Structure 1
């Protein structure tokens, strides 16, 4: 059966999370004078990204809640950088979640590729990101226009790679697994999750990282989708 429905991940696939997060961290670093505690911007970015990734893995495994993730990531980051707990600005997390989704950087060829595909397929978004943040990101980067259904883990009650998340997405889209294709950057959540739900996958791998996971397709640039879709 030919594909009719394309499902896209958002962060790290379309919306350039690293660029947008680093810009936000630079704003917070300057606003709160973190250099006075011996915290350089490069170290702040690096350690935050490491801490955040680790916490997201726990969140996706249902081992921490959304609120715990938000509450812990900045105190843990600054503790690793030698900042005393009493000196950690208490509003960092709230400021981060306020500024970040207003950023608009997307990966190269995002708009051009989505505009091309929208004329041929029905496009949907399926994301583990927090619902309030994801809708703001889509609006800020002018991506909302491309998608018929925007399916978040909060709304579905499940997180990728749980097959129930994909089943919910298929039902919301009025699609079947054989006529659907998942595009995402995460081998576990997007590729293996879709595979286990009977959905073909495109692994978006812009860094061309070596791996040993069997994927239906693999691309390093979004415009490569045009080569087979």
Structure 2
């Protein structure tokens, strides 16, 4: 079995449970802004529509078709207007409030802390490589007590590239002093994490907790973080 020394983790949807944390944040906003007063949609509909809009915008962001500023400005306007709210009635600070509240949430995927402790104790050097915004990623790590596990946090804003661009990964290797052959990328996104790492010559672990069917070739595939202990 191949020997690895450097393990690169994605953060959102891999360790930090974005969907759970976003759901809690949206529930708070729905109450704080009394969105029910419009009488147009339930919280479930608000949450579902936001998820659809946000995922679509993130795909555009990762393709360099919108900026971070545009993503943040547009997501709630688009969500609420598509639910029937007049654009003039969309709270002007709702996106900023979301950005303030969300990273303070602490939900992580099952086994996150125990597996990271195990890997650290085994002598692996742990790093993060994320397309998430620089100004919130470190807050997320602190809120979920993940900071101390990682030596380096490599963000797209700092590197100048977005996963799956192989230059994001080569930047990460250079910054950590790692080689591709001794490195392993663990993430939930087949394009950004798996294909991006593959194109940079790095082995990959596809984290697939919902066991979605796919036809991609991956070095490893897991549905639980606990499975990392089976080969690391």
Cα distance in 1 for partners of 2:14, 2:181 equals 22
Counterpart position of 2:218? 215
Counterpart position of 1:198? 201
Q: In the TM superposition, what is the alpha-carbon distance from 1:87 to its structure 2 partner?
A: 1.0
Q: In the TM superposition, what is the alpha-carbon distance from 1:158 to its structure 2 partner?
A: 0.3
Question: For 1:140-159, what aligned pairs fall within 5 Å after superposition?
Answer: 140-159=143-162
Cα distance in 1 for partners of 2:13, 2:53 equals 17
Does residue 133 of structure 1 match 2:136?
yes
Cα distance in 2 for partners of 1:85, 1:166 equals 40
Structure 1 stretches lacking a partner, 5+ long: none
Q: RMSD of the alignment, in Å?
A: 0.6
**1:125 counterpart SS class:** strand
**2:103 counterpart SS class:** helix
Cα distance in 1 for partners of 2:41, 2:170 equals 45
Q: TM-score, normalised by structure 1?
A: 0.99
**1:150 counterpart SS class:** strand
Q: TM-score, normalised by structure 2?
A: 0.98
- Deviation >2 Å, runs of 4+: none
Question: For 1:1-229, what aligned pairs fall within 5 Å after superposition?
Answer: 2-37=3-38, 38-120=40-122, 121-229=124-232
**1:100 counterpart SS class:** helix
Cα distance in 2 for partners of 1:64, 1:98 equals 21
Question: Residue by residue, what CA displacement relative to the aligned partner does 1:31-50 show, whole Å, maximum 9, x if unpaired?
Answer: 01111112211011100000
Cα distance in 1 for partners of 2:208, 2:94 equals 31
Cα distance in 1 for partners of 2:94, 2:75 equals 10
Cα distance in 2 for partners of 1:223, 1:192 equals 23
Cα distance in 1 for partners of 2:78, 2:63 equals 19
Count matched residues. 229
Cα distance in 1 for partners of 2:210, 2:82 equals 27
Q: In the TM superposition, what is the alpha-carbon distance from 1:86 to its structure 2 partner?
A: 1.2
